[in-house]
Amino acid sequence: MSRKTVILTEIIAPYRIPVFNVLARRAGLDLHVIFLAETDETLRQWRVYKNEICFSHQILPSWRWRAGRGNFLINRGLWSALNNANPQVIICGGYNYAASWEALLWARRQRVPFVLWSESNSHDARAGRAWVESLKAYFLRHCDRFVVPGKASFEYLKMLGCAEASILTAPNAVDNGLFATQAESTRRHATEFRDRLKLPSRFILFVGRLVPEKGVFDLLEAYAKLESGVRLEVGLVFAGDGASREELAQRAKRISPGVVCFPGFAQREDLAGIYALAECLALPTHSDPWGLVVNEAMACGLPIIVSSVAGCSADLVDDGWNGYVVPPRDSEKLSAAINCVVRRPELRQSMSAHSLERIRSYSPETCAEGLAAAAISAGTGAR
């Protein structure tokens, strides 16, 4: 008999669709996904690929607003949705929305096992605030199981007192095959693609929101520290958008020689092509639960330079093997790492091969299997 499983998650993120599609096909599970919103246009410009959805789902009516760094999302209809779905287990993506708490209350009242799917780690920007930690501790005490994407989140939950045996891993994943195929296609038409997006012949790549906490100013400073001869040959590309774009562009004008490009936000169809032509991906973030752009770049065969506080760093990047792990806010070490990658083609080739090797284990199938294991085992933890 199939175990009726409800996943509660924020938006229809393109990288989750392949995972949920695989999970829906898994024997022993009857999957229904409840999205709190279709998308978040103020923060992300992702296209919503509804035509690729092959699992039962619904989108709740919602109201979202922001105050400072706070992100508030209020939903209606969750209680009725859970009553109609009548799940035997709930997997809840995070604890920072009112709907997460409502789902926990529903689960406690119905005596349904509740699994927290958490990407938080000790380097999160929210971590350490007393009121946040107090609420978090209360929430965790009432969960039956936990599922995490990797080592940083695993260690964080252990630090918060969660039993190691109650924590399962569902490695964060993107559609590796899709990115690899699109990257290879771009390489066959490199000149045409490069000309269309006005990309340099060689470049270091950043992908993400252009905001200070992503380390974008550190990266620009690191680029400026490269020898002028290197900057003559290698540019810097910021693929994305955000509040700091204009300031970044103004500062970039002071760097000479050198080329700094801002092609804007890239949808999935162009993103794989940009990865394909880059020398390496740099993600010098100050705080990031994971960093799925690293998965995407590795699927396209890129060396990775990532800050040690990114949640993915411990799982995906071995320092000196498929990239470099650098301290956050350290433009000197960031610049040195970039210099090593761009000036040593044989090292870059080796790191590229190692990235492809490592990312094979981070597939939608592997992630889905971890979620399935959490759902199936959760019954033993029901109160």
Give every residue of the chain whose pLDDT is below 70, as ranges. 43, 66-70, 125-128, 379-383
Looking at residue 40, its pLDDT comes to: 83
The upper half-sphere exposure of residue 311, i.e. CA atoms within 13 Å in the direction of its Cβ, equals 25
Looking at residue 130, its pLDDT comes to: 79
**Parallel, antiparallel, or unpaired: how do β-strands 70-75 and 62-67 relate?**
antiparallel
The structure's pTM equals 0.94
Which is nearest to 377 in space by CA: 28, 83, 8, 33?
28
At 162 the three-state DSSP class reads coil
**Cα distance from N-terminal residue to C-terminal residue, the chain:** 22
Q: Indicate the domain borders of the chain.
A: 3-173+363-381, 176-359
Q: What is the pLDDT of residues 321-376, one digit of tens each?
A: 999 999 999 999 999 999 999 999 999 999 999 999 999 999 999 999 999 999 99
Residues 6+ apart with CB under 8 A from 300: 179, 180, 183, 272, 275, 276
Alpha helices in the chain (DSSP H): 16-25, 78-85, 98-110, 130-141, 151-159, 176-188, 190-197, 216-225, 228-233, 245-252, 268-277, 292-299, 313-316, 331-343, 345-359, 364-377
Looking at residue 226, its pLDDT comes to: 98
Answer yes or no: are the C-beta atoms of 144 and 330 closer than 8 Å: no
Q: CATH number for 176-359: choose from 3.20.20.30, 3.90.550.10, 3.40.50.2000, 3.40.920.10.
A: 3.40.50.2000
Q: How far is the C-alpha of 320 from the C-alpha of 355, rounded, in Å?
A: 12
Answer yes or no: are the C-beta atoms of 320 and 348 closer than 8 Å: no
Q: What is the pLDDT of residues 163-177, one digit of tens each?
A: 999 999 999 999 999
* Secondary element (H or E) of residue 63: strand 62-67
Classify domain 3-173+363-381 by CATH architecture. Answer: 3-Layer(aba) Sandwich (3.40)
Looking at residue 251, its pLDDT comes to: 98
Looking at residue 126, its pLDDT comes to: 56
Which is nearest to 221 in space by CA: 202, 187, 243, 247?
247
**Count of residues for the chain?**
383
